[in-house]
Structure 1
Amino acid sequence: MDTMRERFTSVTSRLLDEDPRLAVVLADISADRFAGAAERHPDRVVNVGIREQLLVGVGGGLALTGLRPILHTFASFLVERPFEQVKLDFGHQGVGGVLVSAGASYDWPSGGFTHMAPGDVALLDTLDGWTVHVPGHPDEAETLLRHAAAAGDDKVYVRLSLQVNDAPRPVDGTGFHTVRQGRRGVVVAVGPMLDNVLAATEGLDVTVLYATTVRPFDAASLRAATGAANASDVVVVEPYLAGTSTRFANDALADRAHRVLGLGVGRQELRRYGQLDEHLAAHGLDPHGLRERIAGFLRGRS
């Protein structure tokens, strides 16, 4: 199976052939994978080198000309390092584009903390109007990328990762989807966390919702799931900073008695490189760690 990043480069190269409004802006990362597209469309594939602020600035400038820019590099260099440019060159200027990241929270641990971005979605939450997609499988990434490319002048962030679920689920770029139904609580599994959540909740009487589009937050589906189950306990499991979406869940259920537990990447920096699976376990996001915390949270109500 190809990776999400490999799927992104192949699909986007084809989209450049199909849609003359699209342009791609790179900062060296994945530039080799766009070599063919750059030969065919030299005016719409731009590599600015290792200049991430310029990457975003060029993307904003292309959007002002009427193009639909797709910007790509590691999440830490796409959202965190050039955040001022994201805020001003897209938000303040009132233009749209697609930010497609790689690396996620800790896909490449040996790259060190400079290449980790567990706070990217929380940072974008400080801005208005961003749609955020977090696919859990390359097939889902392709669907959401095509949706983002065709999304008019909207501002869209697509968060790619090496962590994937075994099988794709139907996604449509909008709300949450019910994967399992129960009556003791609702667990929202975001993107590549789904398989671990399903393993962790095996035998527990809970509803599992699958979220690949997390912004806008699907308050209606969460309300419907908690209402159908007559459940007041909600757990949100995210592959980035713990608690990023808890305020949205609390807002969705503000008129009901409820509890919300946010599970995700902890704030403490893990200074040993390790591997992706070791980081998941250290943050309690492997099936064992999730089982302990979800079951313990549900027992706290009984």
Structure 2
Amino acid sequence: MDTMRDRFAPVVSRLLDEDPRVAVVLAEIGKDPFEAAMRKHPDRVINVGIREQLLVGAGAGLALTGLRPVVHTFASFLVERPFEQIKLDFGHQGVGGVLVSAAASFDWPAGGFTHMSPADVALFDTLDDWTVHVPGHPDEAETLLRHAVAAGDDKVYVRLSVQSNAQALPVDGAGFLTVREGRGGVVIAVGPMLDEVLAATEGLDVTVLYATTVRPFDERTLRRAAGVGAAADVVVVEPYLAGTSTAAVNDALADVPHRVLGLGVGRRELRRYGRIEEHMAAHGLDAASLRGRISAFLGERTAVRPS
């Protein structure tokens, strides 16, 4: 199966053909798949070289001219390094664009900590009015990329990863999907965490929600799943910094008694490269670890459902 990033250049190249407002800004990384598009649209496919602050600033500048910029590089270079430019050039100037990252939290462990970005979504939470998509399958990435580019002049972040669920689901760029229903609590699986969550909760009496658009946060679906009016227990399993969405859950359930557990990438740096699977296990995000942590938090109410 191809990866989400494999889909990125072909999808955006077609959008360049279809929509004269679309422009692409690159910082050397990921330029090769755009060679044909560069020849076809030399004024709308721009490679600024290894200059990430310029990458974001140039994208915002194109937005000021009325174009719809798609800005791409690794998450650590797209969000963390030029964060001031995101805050000022897009936010302060009031323009929109589509920032598309790759490498996620630790997609390339051999690249070391400089190429890891588990805090990217948490950083966007410090800014106003950003939509954040976290697809869990290449088909979903294609759908959400098209949603993002077509979103008028909105500010959108699309987080691509080599990690993927086995099957795509019909995502709509807005709400959560209910994948499984139960009475002992709610588990929200974000993007590529769905398969691990489904394996971890197999047989448990819990509702599983699938989130690929995490900002704005789908409060309505969570409240319905939690059975608002009674006490609610919620677990959020995210492929980035643990606890990133706990405040969003607390806001959604502010009027009812509830508990929330945020599971994700820990703050401690893992200083051995290893493999993705080893990083997942070290952060307690593999199915076996998740089952223990979810069961311990939700307690007896998650007892195995009768067949």
- Asked whether the 8 Å contact 1:184–1:231 carries over to 2, the reply is no
Q: Spell out, residue by residue over 1:186-226, the C-alpha distance to the aligned partner (whole angstroms, 9 max, x if none).
A: 00000000000000000100000000000000111100000
Deviation, structure 1 residue 287: 0.1
Task: Write the distance in 1 (CA, Å) between the matches of 2:163 and 2:32.
Answer: 23
Match of 1:180 in 2: 180
What secondary structure is seen at the aligned counterpart in 2 of 1:270? coil
Aligned 8 A contact 2:229 2:256 in 1: no
Q: Is the 8 A contact 1:185 1:226 kept in 2?
A: yes
Counterpart residue identity of residue 129, structure 1: D
**What secondary structure is seen at the aligned counterpart in 2 of 1:91?**
helix
Give the conservation status (yes or no) of the 8 Å contact 2:11–2:142.
Answer: yes
**TM-score after normalising by structure 1:** 0.98
Q: Structure 1, residues 246-284: CA drift from partner, whole Å, max 9, x if none?
A: 011011111111100000000000000000010000000
Asked if the contact 2:24/2:44 (under 8 Å) is kept, the reply is: yes
User: Contact (CA 8 Å) 2:53, 2:82: kept in 1 or not?
Assistant: yes
Correspondences of 1:103-118 after superposition (within 5 Å) = 103-118=103-118
Identify the residue that residue 20 of structure 1 maps to in structure 2.
20
For 2:229 and 2:275, the matched residues in 1 are separated by 38
Structure 2 SS opposite 1:233: strand
User: 1:2: Cα distance to partner?
Assistant: 1.0
| 4+ long deviations beyond 6 Å | none
**CA contact 1:186–1:231 (8 Å) conserved in 2:** no
SS at structure 2 position matched to 1:132: strand
Is this contact kept in 1: 2:105–2:116, CA < 8 A? yes
1:243-254 to structure 2, matched below 5 A, reads 243-254=243-254
The residue matched to 1:204 in structure 2 has which SS?
A: coil
Could you tell me whether the CA contact under 8 Å between 1:177 and 1:211 is conserved in 2? yes
Distance 1:275 1:234 in 2: 30
Within 5 Å, give how 1:67-82 maps onto structure 2: 67-82=67-82
Report the alpha carbon displacement of residue 228 of structure 1 after superposing the two structures with TM. Answer: 7.3
After superposition, the Cα gap between the structure-2 partners of 1:58 and 1:117, relative to the gap in structure 1 and judged at 3 Å, is same
Counterpart for residue 207 of structure 1: 207
TM superposition shift of 1:298: 1.0
2:292 equivalent to 1:292: yes
Work out whether residues 205 and 301 of structure 2, in 8 Å CA contact, stay in contact via their aligned partners in 1. Answer: no
TM-score normalised by the chain length of structure 2: 0.97
CA contact (8 A) 1:130 1:157 kept: yes
Gaps in structure 2 of 5+ consecutive residues:
303-307
Residue-by-residue CA offset, 1:84-121 (whole Å, 9 max, x unaligned): 00000000000000000000000000000000000000
Counterparts in 2 of 1:94 and 1:76: CA distance versus 1, 3 Å: same
Q: Could you tell me how far 1:9 is from its partner in structure 2? A: 0.8
Q: Which residue of 2 aligns with 1:62?
A: 62
The one-letter amino acid paired with 1:128 is D
Counterpart amino acid of 2:54?
L
| 2:50 maps to 1:47 | no
**How far off is 1:300 after superposition?**
7.4
Counterpart residue number, 1:2: 2
Partners of 2:286 and 2:9 lie apart in 1 by 29
Deviation at 1:301, TM superposition (A): 7.3
SS of 1:293's partner is: helix
Which residue is 2:122 aligned to?
122
Give the structure 1 partner of residue 273 of structure 2: 273
Give, as a single letter, the amino acid of the residue that structure 1 aligns with 2:253.
Answer: L
CA contact (8 A) 1:182 1:229 kept: no
Whichever residue aligns with residue 192 of structure 1, its letter is P
* Contact 1:181–1:208, Cα closer than 8 Å, also in 2: yes
| Structure 2 CA distance for aligned equivalents of residues 165 and 8 of structure 1 | 17
**Percent sequence identity over matched residues?**
77
1:55 and 1:71 in contact (8 A); partners too:
yes
How far off its partner does 1:229 sit? 10
1:131 corresponding residue in structure 2: 131
Q: In the alignment, is the contact (CA less than 8 A) between 1:132 and 1:214 conserved in 2? A: yes
Cα deviation, residue 231, structure 1:
5.8
Report SS of the residue matched to 1:187: strand
Distance 1:150 1:34 in 2: 20
